[in-house]
Amino acid sequence: MEIIKAREIADSNGLDLVEVSPDAKPPVCKVLDFGKFRFEQSKKTKESKKKQKVVLTKEIRLRPKIEEHDFNTKLRQTIEFLKKGYKVKISIRFRGREMTHTDIGRNIINKFIQEIGEYGAADFNPKFEGRTIVTVVSPNKAGK
């Protein structure tokens, strides 16, 4: 149908001519109430946002020379985060000469993941990002 005829039909019914698919050959248009159309679109987007689940991430920073008490404190804190359903990013930062002993940091982070095993599982093996070893732990369903 030609544009002029479509506009006449829309005007005679008191509606708007709205281009629905501009990329199609020929472009697709509808005769409808544009205000109502926009309202329904916003309603759909709000509904889809309600169904989304936002996953928050907390971060726990460890050091290569961490003492046992500090380790246990960070462990308890991580377990609380996992119980609440947060993902936890665990990182160990190396400074200066500590870079020569990255195996110590890797052992610490592996021990940490082992200790929280019943509450969460690592999404990926610990990996280096610059001077930092990083991994992310997601909560288990049974841990909640």
Indicate the residue type of 52: Q
Residue 144 lies in a domain: no
67 and 122 belong to one structural domain: yes
Say whether pLDDT at 144 is over 60. Answer: no
Examine the domain organization and report whether 111 and 70 are in the same domain: yes
Report the candidate in 72, 59, 54, 56 with the shortest Cα–Cα distance to residue 111.
72
Mean pLDDT confidence for 16-31:
85
Tell me: do 22 and 82 sit in the same domain.
Answer: no
Asked if the structure places residue 91 within a domain, the reply is yes
Residue 108 CB coordination number (10 Å): 20
Q: Per-residue pLDDT for 74 more than 50?
A: yes
123 shares a domain with 67: yes
Please check whether residue 136 is in contact with residue 88, taking contact to mean a CB–CB distance below 8 angstroms: yes
Same domain, 126 and 81: yes
Domain of residue 65: give its range: 57-139
State whether 16 and 78 are in the same domain.
no
User: Which whole number is the average pLDDT over 15-37?
Assistant: 86
Task: Judge whether residue 72 has pLDDT over 60.
Answer: yes
Number of domains the chain contains: 2
Three-state DSSP at 43 gives: helix
Query: Is 125 within a domain?
Result: yes
Q: Evaluate whether residue 19 is within a structural domain.
A: yes
Torsion of CA 121, 136, 70, 98, to 10 degrees: 130
Residue 7 lies in a domain: yes
pLDDT bin (cut points 50, 70, 90) of residue 1 is confident
- Same domain assignment for residues 134 and 63: yes
pLDDT score recorded for residue 143: 45
Is the pLDDT at 68 greater than 60, yes or no?
A: yes
CA angle 94, 96, 99 (to 5 degrees): 50
Taking the C-alpha atoms of residue 2 and residue 31, their distance in angstroms, rounded to an integer, is 13
What are the pLDDT digits (tens) for 33-63? 888 888 988 999 888 888 777 778 999 999 9
Residue showing tokens 């509450």:
119
Do residues 40 and 61 both lie within one domain?
no
